[in-house]
Each structure stands twice: as structure tokens, then as C-alpha cells.
Amino acid sequence: MNVPLLDLKAQYQTIREEIRKVVDEICDSQYFILGPHVEAMEAKIAAYCQTPHAVGVSSGSDALIIALMAAGIGAGDAVITTPYTFFATAGAVARVGARPLFVDIDPVSYNLDPGALENTVAAMDNGTRAAVKAILPVHLYGQCADMDPILDMARRHNWVVIEDAAQAIGAEYKGRRAGSMGDFGCFSFFPSKNLGAFGDGGVVTTTSAEMDQRLRMLRMHGMEPKYYHRMIGGNFRLDALQAAVVALKLDYLDGWTSGRQANAAAYRRLFQEAGLVQQVQLPVEVQNRHIYNQFVIRVTHDRDALRAWLGEQGIGTEVYYPVPLHQQECFNYLGHGDGDFPLSEQAATQSLALPIYPELSEAQLAAVVERIGAFYKA
């Protein structure tokens, strides 16, 4: 049985007519950049994320860059983050001229470990400690990082808190939504995210009216009023088409999230019934609203052989992420070596994402588990 990692066509079929109607409307209007569809999307996202403000931008990567710019982070500054994430998290820090300062993950949640954070800060020299201006936790795979100790540390040290919530729209931490806890929340509408556009797009949420204004200015080259530039921004604008698709899809998001959660529950039952819970460690729900952008299992050996075998059987999987950021060539200048962040390095060799999209059938889920069982029998 064929089980792709993700099947966006299945979702599109359910909303095809509605989407085509709004796309047609925008084509007729010939109004393509920012404007009423972007404003409407921003209001809906702000309400959904339980934040006062949301600003549509060109991608999730740009959401991170523009949040850092709005916070005034730049050359000479350091930003604490995790090495076990998509490249853009630390890439954005470097792009604004600041230095990423990595802290290892908690191996159960895969998110930045508050204990390791305490130790890292305690071991810093005064110069480094003074350079740290922000912390950028990631809510990886759809589950929030342990935010209370992170927010507490940030308050004590006067750091800006920027949540990388690209994989976590609608996820919750103690009843609070991803993107509503820090000063900024950064979201991506890349098509493979839980709320995907028909191209690139993103949004920044913020609790501050002042930052909302700065973000709006920065996304248009720092321009206010027209052709007067008070700061150097960039072109971080969002298309009306993308905003309209996202706004429309948002009405379905909770239903799709329930579908992902139901699939995760089905996997748990199927792995249990197959007697595979020794060989395969299942994801742990540490926080109470995990939105399962990914369902990531962990195997202690032969991960790559398992992945190759599943591929031969028509089952799509992915490794998020094979190389932690401190081991990326472009970050050689940070001076890290193998073993610096051992829990991230171990996760990189052991983790494997299985198909979890909401339209999967019970038979497909069963086939994935059955094929994994067959691999371990062989």
C-alpha cells in the first residue's frame, strides 16, 4: 500500500470550490499585495493565536528575521536558541548580524531544555552574558517548548522572547497558545505546515502595539509615510492570494488538527498491539495540545536502513533533521565540534517522521506499523 509522507491533493479536494472562488475574486480585482485579504487574515490569525496583533509577511523565515529586526537585534548581539531545528531559526539570527548561541534539547520533547539553559547561562563569561539580547525557543513538531522557565529566565535577564512557532499553530502550553507567550511569535505558511498557503507566506504575532507598528513599517522597507524611510526594512510583504487561502483554510484547521491527533492515537494503539514499543519509541505528549505537524518516532539503531526499507515499500518518511545546526558547515565559525550538543546529535541519528496528515485512512496507518514490524522481524 502506498502511504506518502504528505498528500496535499487530498486536502485540496475538500475545499477546491471555495478556494477557486476567492482566487477568481482576487484575479478580477487585480489587487495582489497586502490589502483587505491580508488584513482579514491577520485579524483571524490574531484571534486564533490569542494575541492582540498579527502581521502577514513573506515567509516563516522572514517572520523570524523581521521579528529580530523589530526587536533591534543586530551586530554584536547574541541570541540563544536550539541546534535541533530547521535551519531558518539560527539562519535568521545570523542574517541580522547576531550570533546564535546554542543550548541542547530535552530528548523527550526535542525542545530547548530549560535545565541546560540554566547551566549555559551560569557558565557564561560576563561579556557573553551581556551580549545575549534574546531567546528563540522552537515549538518543534507541533509541541510547545517548556515556556515557563524560559520566560522566567528571560524576565530576569531582560531578553526579548521570540517563539519559532512555524510548526505549532494552535499548539498550547498550559492553556496558552503558541505565539502568544513571548514578545513575538513567528509562523510559516509553507505548504507542508499544518496551515499551508499555495506558496510562501508567514505571519508574526506580537503582544505589543508598538512592535506591531514597527513590523508593518519594516515589511515595507521601513517606509512611513510613502517614500519616507525612517528605518531600513525590506520587502517582507505578503500576497493577497496567499492570505486569502490561509484565511479560508483556518476555518478547517481545528478539524484537521483533530484528524492528526486521532491518527497519533491510532499509531499508539497499533504500535502497542504489534508489540513494537520496545524497538520504537513513540513521541511523548509533554504539553496538552500537541498539533502533530510531525509524528516522530525514535529508533536506537538502523534508522537509515528502516527508512530505506519503508521507502521500498511505498511508505514515505523523513529525517527532521539529519545534521544539527552547530555541525553545519556554514556555522563552522562558531567553533563547535562533535559532541558539543550530544542530545541533539543523538536525535539527529535516531528520529524518523512518519505520515500523520489528517486524510490518512486507518488501513494506511496499519500498513505503516505492519511494515515497521516486518522490518524488525527480518
Q: Of the listed pieces 57-65, 111-119, 147-155, 230-238, which binds ligand PLP according to CB under 6 A?
A: 57-65
Q: Does 159 participate in binding ligand PLP (rule CB under 6 A)?
A: no
Q: Does 167 participate in binding ligand PLP (rule CB under 6 A)?
A: yes
Interface pattern 172-211 for ligand PLP (x via CB under 6 A)? ----------------x-x---------x-x---------
Between residue 94 and residue 153, which ones bind ligand PLP under the rule CB under 6 A? 138
Q: Of the listed pieces 5-13, 81-89, 150-158, 228-236, which binds ligand PLP according to CB under 6 A?
A: 81-89
Going from the C-alpha of 209 to that of each of 12, 203, 280, the distances in angstroms are 36, 15, 47
Which residue in the list 21, 44, 174, 193 is annotated as catalytic?
193
Q: Does 164 participate in binding ligand PLP (rule CB under 6 A)?
A: yes
Report the nearest approach of ligand PLP to the CB of residue 272 (Å).
29
Q: Which residues, other chains included, contact 376 with Cβ-Cβ below 8 Å and sequence gap of 6+? A: 276, 279
Q: Does 61 participate in binding ligand PLP (rule CB under 6 A)?
A: yes
Report the nearest approach of ligand PLP to the CB of residue 276 (Å).
28
Q: Of the listed pieces 48-56, 59-67, 307-315, 348-356, which binds ligand PLP according to CB under 6 A?
A: 59-67
Q: Is residue 193 annotated as a catalytic residue, yes or no?
A: yes
Q: Which residues bind ligand PLP (CB under 6 A)?
A: 59-61, 85-86, 88-89, 138, 164, 166-167, 188, 190, 200, 202
**Active-site residues: which are they?**
193
